[in-house]
Amino acid sequence: MKCDNCNKPATVHLTEIKNGKKIEKHLCQECASTLEDFSPKGHLPINELLTNFVMAHSGLDKKGDTTAVCENCGISWEEFRKNGLLGCSADYQAFEQELSPLLQRAHEGATHHVGKTPLRRGASMPPVKHKTDLVRLRKELAKAVEKENYELAAKLRDQIKLAEEQD
């Protein structure tokens, strides 16, 4: 078959459905490459690349992997590893252990958030008795981490854990 535009052999075949009509195009490589509308998806999304890269370097590719599954959305760690996207916000808790080394790789060793906090953040948290205490402790923890005072951070983390368990 010859290319629709020139006489070279057609190597790219496209079918488009427009207004119920099927339109077929047969093009050679050269003519196809000048079709600028929607070039074929030849590029890997960057997050997939990043995740693959991070996975490969974090020792998570080895055997003996976790079989963890998120109870909320049903995604398994295995599935996440395949496409690099999590299924819901609860995954961060469900896979906390597995995610930690990956996050450190991806974020220059960082383990905790220190940036903006939503003003309404209390609304999205599980209800806790010692709420004010917890909020204060978490703030202090974020500050300690920011100042790289890891000794204090470790102490605060223990206190937070304790407060959460008492709840």
Partner 1 sequence: MKLSDLTNSASEWLRGSGPLSEVVISSRIRLARNVNGFNFLSRCSRADRARLERRIRDTILEAAIADKTLYVDLAQAPDLDRQLLVERHLISKQHATNEGARGVAIGGGETISIMVNEEDHLRIQVLRSGLQLDEAWEQINAVDDKLEAQLDFAFSPRFGYLTACPTNVGTGIRVSVMLHLPALKLTGEIEKVFRAAKEMRLAVRGLYGEGTDATGDFYQISNQTTLGKTEDEIIGDFKHVVIPKIIEYEHHARRTLLNDRTIALDDKVHRAVGLLRSARLMTSEETLFLLSHLRMGINLGRIKNVDLKTVNELVLLTQPAHLQKHAGRKLEGDMRRAARAELIRQRLGVV
What is the enclosing helix (H) or strand (E) of 15? strand 12-18
Contact between 8 and partner 1 by CB under 8 A: the answer reads no
Tokens of 26: 């047969």
In contact, 47 and 85? CB cutoff 8 Å? yes
Least distance from C-beta 28 to partner 1, angstroms?
12
Residue from 7, 123, 151, 165 in contact with partner 1 (CB under 8 A): 123
9: which residues sit within 8 A by CB, 6+ positions away?
1, 2, 3, 28
How far is Cα 163 from Cα 130, in angstroms, rounded to an integer? 7
Pattern 86-115, partner 1, x by CB under 8 A: xxxx--xx-----x--xx--xxxxxxxxxx
Binding footprint of partner 1 on the chain (CB under 8 A): 5, 31, 34-38, 41-47, 50-51, 54, 72-75, 83-89, 92-93, 99, 102-103, 106-121, 123-124, 138, 141-142, 145-146
